[in-house]
Amino acid sequence: MATVSPAGKVAPPPSDIFTVDGIPLKIKLKRAERWAKIRAVGLIAPLFLFLMVSFVVPIFTMLWRSVENPEIGLVLPRTAALMQVWDGQEYPSNETLAVIVEEFVGAVEDKTIGKAAKRLNYHVAGYRSLVMKTANKLRRAANKEGLEPLLADPNLLERFKALDARWGERRYWAIMKQASPPHTAFYLLMAVDRDFDADDNIVPIDEHRAIHVDILWRTVFISVNVTILCLLLGYPIAYLLAVLPTRQSNVLILLLLLPFWTSLLVRTTAWLVLLQNEGLVNDIAITFGFWDDPVQLVRNRLGVYIAMVHILLPFMVLPMFSVMKGIDPYHMRAAASLGANPLRAFLKVYLPQTIPGVGAGVLLVFILSLGYYITPALVGGPKDQMLSYFIAFHANNTVNWGLAAALSLVLMCCVVIFFAMYQRLVGVGNVKMG
């Protein structure tokens, strides 16, 4: 900006300030800021890459499997292409059936037919044996009659029906069509006990197979109860730790954290030993006359609650303790001086200030409870297993990665919904004093 000299003349604007190396200072500052940002990015890049490789990518890879459907396209590529353009009415054409016969025979010789048969069996029990039996019979017929004469048969559908009467039902061909695209919503529907019918309508699955929704509600129910129990037990403990002198509270915190030094599996197994019919808990109760005969405390819902609350209680106490420790005790005294009785002072002054800690503890315990697997598997009964057990079952036993991924996605959606509720009710800026 130009300035006016004492003589009344307008002086020229001052020139830029230069550094000793002749570069304008503002350019030098911009370069310094740019290099500072580059160095900051370089410092966090290794951690970012580590999280991406070890956490984000595996999760999205797993979730991608919930819609991935490559089996039929890999084993029977021409069949998959033709079945996708089939209108789904009546039965496939004789030309399409000829391609199916040719690829069935080739897949038997390549020993890959089992992979496609297993994929089709996810829809209807017995489909695997149907495909394997049909493919083997077609291969024997091709060896006996020759493949070309077999493919030239104008009544291949009747031949299929003669091999097995189930090929006369349109739904088996509809299932083959539904399993042919490279991507499918089948696993996601199965995770909520739904499936496609022969006309591609979404319908409930059979009652004896409809278990996943019940398991989901059971998982949420157990997690809510465990969270409530941890809150009821943890709030007084956190309050005691907050009001005690530092030396005494440090000793109690050490005792609270002591279970963290022991493996989760060891702690759960210890509860299994303590709570069994011949365990220490039953022996002490019978000795002191609390009951006369051993009570079933394990392999049921009670054992699950006891073990999970013991393991998760510190996750509830520590967030509340950290918040309670920062509350000024003079607030309660001020409320008492204004005429509030202890209960009213607690409800109107102290409790609202602890809501952030309560919310953090509830969120942490509930989310951890949703994903519990080892504890219910060891101390629970068949009707106490949670969704994580069935995710592991489908991933390890049945090797149905699609359904395991779909169930994982359902569990993740529950976490997201609960977290959104937490943010709306207890999140930053939502807590108000009473």
Q: Break the chain into its structural domains and give their ranges.
A: 17-64, 72-179, 212-425
Query: CA-CA distance, 11 to 135, in Å (whole number)?
Result: 98
> Which residues neighbour 266 within 8 Å (Cβ) at sequence distance 6 or greater?
none
Helix axes 351-370, 401-425, angle to 10 degrees: 180
For residue 398, what pLDDT is reported?
Answer: 86
CB-CB contact of 174 with 102 (8 Å): no
CB-CB contact of 131 with 123 (8 Å): no
Number of H helices, E strands in the chain: 22, 4
Amino acid sitting at position 266: V
CB-CB contact of 315 with 364 (8 Å): yes
Whose CA is closest to 357, among 419, 251, 257, 431? 431
Per this entry, what is the length of the chain? 434
Q: Would you state the structure tokens that stand for residue 353, as one six-digit string?
A: 């200030």
User: In this predicted model, what pLDDT tens digit does every residue of 263-314 receive, in sequence order?
Assistant: 888 889 999 999 998 889 999 999 988 888 899 999 999 999 999 999 999 9
* CATH class as words, domain 212-425: mainly alpha
Stretches in the chain below the pLDDT threshold 70: 1-16, 18-22, 427-434
For residue 69, what pLDDT is reported?
Answer: 93
Amino acid sitting at position 418: F
Q: Would you state the structure tokens that stand for residue 136, as one six-digit string?
A: 């083997």
> Which residues neighbour 324 within 8 Å (Cβ) at sequence distance 6 or greater?
238, 239, 241, 242, 354, 357
CB-CB contact of 323 with 354 (8 Å): yes
User: In this predicted model, what pLDDT tens digit does every residue of 333-378 receive, in sequence order?
Assistant: 888 888 888 888 888 888 899 998 999 999 999 999 998 998 999 9
For residue 434, what pLDDT is reported?
Answer: 44
Query: CA-CA distance, 332 to 391, in Å (whole number)?
Result: 49
The pTM score is 0.83
Half-sphere exposure of residue 195: CA atoms within 13 angstroms, side-chain side: 20
Q: Would you state the structure tokens that stand for residue 210, as one six-digit string?
A: 């409809």
For residue 433, what pLDDT is reported?
Answer: 45
